[in-house]
Amino acid sequence: MSKFISLILSLSIVSFGINNQGTVNKESSGGNTQLGLKQIIEACATAFKEKIDSSYREKVCISLEDGSEKYTLIVGPNKQITVYEGNDSTASIYYKAKADLYNKFYYGEMAPATAVVQARSSDPIPLNYSFGKHVSFNADFLNRFLFFTQHFFNRDIHDKLILREESSRLVHGGYGIPIFYQKDNEIGVRSAWYQINKGQCVNEGGNSNPFPQYIIIIGGTAKAIIGSDTLVIRKGEAYFIAPNQRHTFWNVNEEPCQAIWIAWGKGA
């Protein structure tokens, strides 16, 4: 499976506090009460404090794609979080999405990393992002972006993920949810949950990567081509995929095949 996140780099002060401002009296797509953006940001910030240390610093802007709400959030020092109404031109990261997506984050219906995953850089994504003009994009900043995205928008203090089709997006021909991604210099580690339904094919035509990978089958049965071998892969099995070895997975069964994918090393 190729790179899960393909990154092409292309006002009054409000003290932080929990309140019920911004609540909208309607239901989200999941049947939950849909909340306003400010309330979601404040709730996420409360959990985020438990995931950072006193040295953490970041400034981001979070806004609505289908509305006028926009806020700047400053973290630090000593875990202090302040919210500004409006966008700040000195922010490092800018997020924009529809209200329904932010509500899915709030209710745990979609993992934030799932909302930025791309098979190709041209693929549309639910959570749009951009970076400040002053930002020098390197491995350190990539990790900053990944850390904030994965941890801030997940309100669970342990970053619980719901691994199911309804919380996933179609990537590389199957339903995927990123679990973890971090990169130091050229050495990376990443993992994801995958579900392949009947008739779906992941990496159709074959795909290879310059780094080692493992596919761990946790449910169902599917067929696979790994290198020159055609296999039947089943729940309770794991398969190593060597660097530059072609691999394809497809399902002809009624039962979905579910797997955990892990990749590591240079280029991952």
For 13-152, which CATH superfamily applies?
SCP2 sterol-binding domain (3.30.1050.10)
**Residues in the chain where the model's pLDDT stays below 50:** 1-26
- Domain 165-266 sits in CATH at 2.60.120.10
- pLDDT score, position 185: 78
Q: And the tokens for 18? A: 């929990």
Q: Do residues 124 and 50 lie in contact, with contact meaning Cβ atoms separated by under 8 Å?
A: no
**Residues whose CB is less than 8 angstroms from the CB of residue 145 and which lie 6 or more positions away in sequence, other chains included:** 7, 93, 129, 131
Burial class (CB in 10 A: 0-12, 13-18, 19+), 133: exposed
CA dihedral of 250, 254, 255, 261, whole degrees rounded to 10: 10
d(CA 108, CA 28): 12
DSSP assignment of 159-208 equals -----SGGG-EEETTEEEEEEEEEEETTEEEEEEEEEE-TT-EEEEEEE-
| Residue 139: predicted pLDDT | 79
pLDDT, position 31: 77
User: Where do the structural domains in the chain lie, given as residue ranges?
Assistant: 13-152, 165-266
User: What pLDDT score was predicted for residue 124?
Assistant: 84
Q: Which two tokens stand for residue 145?
A: 């972006």
Q: Which two tokens stand for residue 14?
A: 């409000």
My answer on whether omega of the bond before 77 falls inside 30° of 0, hence cis, is yes
Q: Collapse the DSSP code of 242 into the 3-class scheme (helix H, G, I; strand E, B; otherwise coil) and give the result.
A: coil
- Residue 184 is predicted with a pLDDT of 82
Which pLDDT score, from 0 to 100, does residue 32 have? 86
Average pLDDT, the chain: 87
